[in-house]
Amino acid sequence: MRQEILVACYGDAMAGPAQKHVVIIGGGFGGLWAARALKRARCRITLIDRRNHHLFQPLLYQVATATLDPSDIAAPIRSITRKQYNLAVLLAEVTSVDVAAKKVSLSDGGELAYDYLIVATGATHSYFGKDHWARHAPGLKSLEDALDMRRRVLLAYEAAEAEPDPERRRAWLTFAIIGAGPTGVELAGALAEISRYSLRHDFRRIDPGEARVILIEGQPRVLPVFPEAQSEKARRQLEKIGVEVRTKVMVTDIDADGVTLAEAGREERLAARTVLWAAGVAASPLGKTLGAPLDRAGRVKVDPGLNLPGREDVFVIGDLVSLSVDGTPVPGVSPAAMQAGTHVALSIRRALDGRGDALHKFRYWNKGTFATIGRGAAVGDLMGRMQLSGFPAWLAWLGIHLFFLVGFRARLFVLFSWAYSYLSHRRGVRLITGQPLLPERRPAATQTSATQPPASSPLAPDPDRPAATPAPDQAAPRQIQS
């Protein structure tokens, strides 16, 4: 029945329809730009994604740090493509690709045939073989990740406010970010601003300004992809707003209580109840089903035209692709994905128009790289020809990100949120949502100090100590399990 519905709605490309069928897997930058470039092509397009929205990933960290609302950086794919009448959207998850049979298999057992296939499924977190770290150090790739990260960060301050033990309180007010690439640097800068400004007057028992934000990087400098001078400027700007930058430090273990570090042959234990992961990514597992050679990160090695070796009907773009142009690897950034999406769409249009299947070489135009550090602070490298830092780089970063946001509403709301945060030092979306992951602490019955929180504080008891049994006429302290 499912297969019949798919054929009825999206056609069966193997049944010989008048128009060729192009299947695009992934509604990110690469997939969406490819679909747009095929708007006037003589073909049918099916865009498949397991989520119903396109996500502007470069601003995910601002959702995680309570500056932006999720709807500000995401838009329904159906809404974006509603006027593209040769395109249908299918909410589904692709589990494998049969290149020989020219079919994709879906998680619910359905199949979809294609004439041309564009795979743009991106990347996910990589913990370098330590996948159990994910429970204690979440990464940032989706809206769910961002909301979980926001919840953990805001709950850490709530836990510190209710914690009577000074050592435990310090652990709750210590935030460790693993990885000092653009995401790690941006997270660290935003968390430092939250502690120094946004939450400054919101608590009574703690001073949020005493929070430690520690950025940990295994390489010798932050932002390794930037020129060395820009990396040093970024480091100085981070330290200026209170971030502790630690380079040449390796992480050997992560658990619920903190991080174990190795530096210069010695180990160190860092007590930090909030650890955030920004250190590595791994290619989507779908790439393994294409039958093409992979690199060490699981990315698919493609021909210069972004097609699978020996196949002119299957293309791979975005974070899933492994390709060097003039000796320089194409980076896994949104501009590269957008350019690749447009490139493969033009290649398909050449074939559809009968101009032959010869594929021209993809060339990535590096328009520049930016990383924001905080309010009025950023660094930027414009193709190695011009380097910006400080307020000018920050303004350029704002303009570039506003330009590439999808939709007028998103640009308007993001601009308003940024203006509010800049003028007021406040964060407008400080909401703790989802199932609270509340910390352990001593039960209320053991509290005697007048400065300790009341027995009704919604915190789970310390599992190492027995809970007090309330008297018959007393209500037990409210407990919420994680």
Phi-psi domain of 129 (left: phi exceeds 0; alpha: psi -120 through 50; beta: other): left
User: Does the annotation count 267 as an active-site position?
Assistant: no
Secondary structure string (H, E, C) spanning 175-208: EEEECCCHHHHHHHHHHHHHHHHHCCCCCCCCCH
The DSSP secondary structure of 116-140, one letter per residue, reads EEEE---EEE--TT-GGGGGTS---
Residues listed for the chain: 482
Helix, strand, or coil here: 57? helix
For residue 91 the two structure tokens come to 């909410």
Residues 6 or more apart whose CB falls under 8 angstroms from that of 310 comprise none
For residue 240 the two structure tokens come to 């200026």
> In Å, how far are 39, 302, 347, 355, 374 from 358, measured between CA atoms?
22, 15, 8, 8, 47
Q: How many helices (H) and strands (E) does the chain have?
A: 11, 28
Task: Identify the active-site residue in 163, 186, 193, 217.
Answer: 186
8 A C-beta contact, residue 420 and residue 426: yes
CA 69 to CA 203: how far, in whole Å?
23
For residue 347 the two structure tokens come to 């290649």
Residues 6 or more apart whose CB falls under 8 angstroms from that of 298 comprise 282, 283, 284, 285, 287, 288
8 A C-beta contact, residue 222 and residue 373: no
CA 61 to CA 181: how far, in whole Å?
13
Query: Which residues are tagged catalytic?
Result: 186
